[in-house]
Structure 1
Amino acid sequence: MTGYTHNPHDGVRLAYEEYGTGEPLLLVHGTGLSKAAWRGLGYRKALAGWRLIALDMRGHGRSGKPHEDAAYTTEAFMADVEAVLDACGVESAHYFGYSFGARVGFGLAAARPDRIRSLACLGGTWRALGGQVGDLFFPGYLEALERGGMPAFIDGWAARAGHPLDPVTAHAFGTNDAAALAAYFRQGERLPGLAEDELARLQVPALLLAGSRDHPRAEDSRRAAELMPHAQFRELPGLDHGTSLAAVEPVTTLLRDFLQAQASRV
């Protein structure tokens, strides 16, 4: 089922999909992607048996795309998630987020723990970004996006990688609104992360996944698991930030085992 709701604080429209039955599992995509990634990569099929709720975060997919930097705050992102949960009649859900989606998940676990039954993150960090976006894509990514739009961004990313982007990724990023994505990036560079003492107070059961070549996300995830009292870190050998998302079978195997363990404790 496809639906729409609105963030009650600023009215931004939010698109979401809901399918399956069972305990609710919220899927939150990474930067430049959308809820379509979960279906296209095979996560929807692999996670059959759960009530899956996937949303397009603001600035992405079929959700609203504000062009103002101030629209892309941690508080706005968290309110987007809560609005979708409310629209689905879900008080609390298990949470799985990739990259940007993982950052939102850490924020929710700290500020809205009643909405999160468990937290699973792939390629995530709880720290302030502090220049990590340029390391992930390419130096000058924001200038390319502001001056040349999505084609310039994609060309710069491919040049940094040394090969053309795969067609699925290129198409997914190419459909973005360049002005909205630039606002999202500018504000993202300013947003604070969580402090280590905040992580140490989180009581949510957590599974933190990262590729062994996903630096510094692997190190950040390992450190978070050391600090959080009910967290575990699992490394995905040989994978980097992008290839870890495409590794559907190992990721969902670990995720299903984790979720089933949480369900058995209820």
Structure 2
Amino acid sequence: MPEIERDGTRIHYQDVGGGEPLLLMHGGLASGDYWRLAGYADALAGHRLLLPDFRGHGRSSLFRDPSRYGIPSDVEDVLAVLDAAGVDRVTACGWSWGGTVGLALAALHPDRVRGVVAIGSSGRHGRFTDLPAGYGRFAETAARIRAEGLAPAARDVSRLGGGRDWLRETFLANEPATAHSWYLGQLTAPPLGRALADVWQPVRFIAGEDEVQLLDFPDPLLPPQAELRVLEGENHVSAFLRVDVVAPVLEQLAGSSVATTQGADVRSR
């Protein structure tokens, strides 16, 4: 499986299949394997899938220094993956933290992104200039990991995902000290210097009914052209597992002619 090195950091990624490329980005304490284990590789078999492990996760470099983390670093790492893979423009899809990275990638490098699908993410913790700077749940999670380790979080994600063993096992594969530093890094990283509302590409938000209030949907967080789909009865994890819902949205967005031309009036509803 391919790897790149950028600024002393090893970034591991998977390059699966062929066709129109899709960039699939995992959430905090997960890895690129989540997409395969959830069934996305099979459902999107007609596409080339790029599945990176963010720094501090999976088989990428692990650091205990919070200053090595933050969304600007993740965006640049993902951009380096696209360069190494020879992909000029991509439809980006992310779950949780990965959704925020996808939105930030679209804001900072609009020429590289055709559209964004954000599952369980409103961009709230991305440090966009038009969003509140504080995000208390990251501080709470960091404190919980420091005090209790990863077992409680692993149990929670497994429960929310219907008891799937691989959800729990992937969380437990993380190093607690690294995970703690990663969460602290998100709180102290520099702001993006761009507004979420300035994202002009097509954006599709998908969220479980149980998490809509936590994500602070809808306006004013949504870019003007964005669409939000709320999945009744689903939560932060189970919404990600709804491959039957997410895959068709990705297929539609990747094939949309609107997503290929910045000149189109993508701000109109």
Q: For this structure pair, what is the TM-score category when the shorter chain's length is used for normalisation?
A: 0.7 to 0.9
Whole-Å Cα distance in 1 between the matches of residues 16 and 224 of structure 2?
32
**1:84 aligned partner:** 81
User: Within the alignment, does 1:236 sit opposite 2:236 as a pair?
Assistant: no
Contact 1:126–1:220 (8 Å) recurs in 2? no
Range moving further from structure 2, 111-120 or 38-47: 111-120
Rate the CA distance shift 1:265–1:67 in 2: closer, same or farther, 3 A: closer
Q: Which has the higher helix share?
A: 1
Identity of matched residues, % = 30
**1:3 aligned partner:** 2
Structure 1 residue 162 displacement after superposition:
10
**1:48 aligned partner:** 45
Structure 1 residue 224 displacement after superposition:
3.7
Higher RCO by CA contacts (8 Å cutoff, separation 6 or greater): 2
Whole-Å Cα distance in 2 between the matches of residues 75 and 179 of structure 1?
21
Q: Secondary structure at the residue paired with 1:215?
A: helix
Select which of 111, 115, 137 maps to 1:132: 137
Whole-Å Cα distance in 2 between the matches of residues 101 and 163 of structure 1?
18
Structure 1 residue 165 displacement after superposition:
5.5
Whole-Å Cα distance in 2 between the matches of residues 163 and 39 of structure 1?
15
Taking structure 1 as the reference length, the TM-score comes to 0.84
**1:38 aligned partner:** 35
Rate the CA distance shift 1:234–1:48 in 2: closer, same or farther, 3 A: same
Map residues 122-161 of structure 1 onto 2, 5 A cutoff: 122-128=119-125, 130-133=135-138, 141-151=141-151, 153-154=153-154, 157=156
- Alignment deviations for residues 217-261 of structure 1 (CA, whole Å, 9 cap, x no partner): 554356444xx2432211111111111111111221222223222
Consecutive unaligned residues of structure 2, counting only runs of 5 or more, are 126-133, 262-269
Select which of 105, 109, 113 maps to 2:110: 113
Number of aligned positions between the proteins: 253
Taking structure 2 as the reference length, the TM-score comes to 0.83
Which amino acid in structure 2 is aligned with residue 34 of structure 1? S
Whole-Å Cα distance in 2 between the matches of residues 85 and 109 of structure 1?
13
Whole-Å Cα distance in 1 between the matches of residues 11 and 231 of structure 2?
32
Structure 1 residue 215 displacement after superposition:
3.4
Consecutive unaligned residues of structure 1, counting only runs of 5 or more, are none
Whole-Å Cα distance in 2 between the matches of residues 221 and 190 of structure 1?
26
Query: Considering only aligned residues, what root-mean-square deviation do their CA atoms show, in Å?
Result: 2.8
